[in-house]
Amino acid sequence: MDFEPFLIEVSEKEIRAEREKARSLRKTQWWQARLSRGICHYCGKKFPPAELTMDHLIPIIRGGKTTKGNCVPACKECNNRKKYMLPLEWQEYLDRLSSPEQAKENEVIQDSGDEEKK
């Protein structure tokens, strides 16, 4: 990452409490209905419900709470890539990946990989 994230002090006690709330929220009909749709909030791809994880839009370590408005289903790849980013930071990250400069860089990497296979 090119940026230093703004982190607030969140105690281990608060983190444990939010994770416990997340475990409880996962058992609700509301969460089961969200999972049953099978759609990742970030990439929009369809997955079997068992392959989706709960992601906090505003991460717990950045002061986010476990509420219906802050929890979304995400595929493991998106959840791992998002890490502790806020929605705005995640969008900026995606925009950088899709920028013309990045696309050109990805082509160069792809082309060099293709040449190695020859």
Same domain, 38 and 54: yes
Domain that holds residue 38: 7-84
Q: Look up the CATH number of the domain holding residue 68.
A: 1.10.30.50
Three-state secondary-structure class, residue 63: coil
Same domain, 21 and 32: yes
Q: Tell me the per-residue pLDDT of 20-37, one tens digit each, with 9 for 90 and over.
A: 999 999 999 999 999 999
Which run of H or E residues covers position 103? helix 100-117
In a domain, 42, yes or no: yes
Same domain, 66 and 105: no
8 pLDDT above the threshold of 80: no
Q: What is the mean pLDDT of the chain?
A: 84
pLDDT for residue 4: 59
Sign of CA dihedral 97, 98, 102, 106: positive
Same domain, 91 and 38: no
This prediction has a pTM of: 0.73
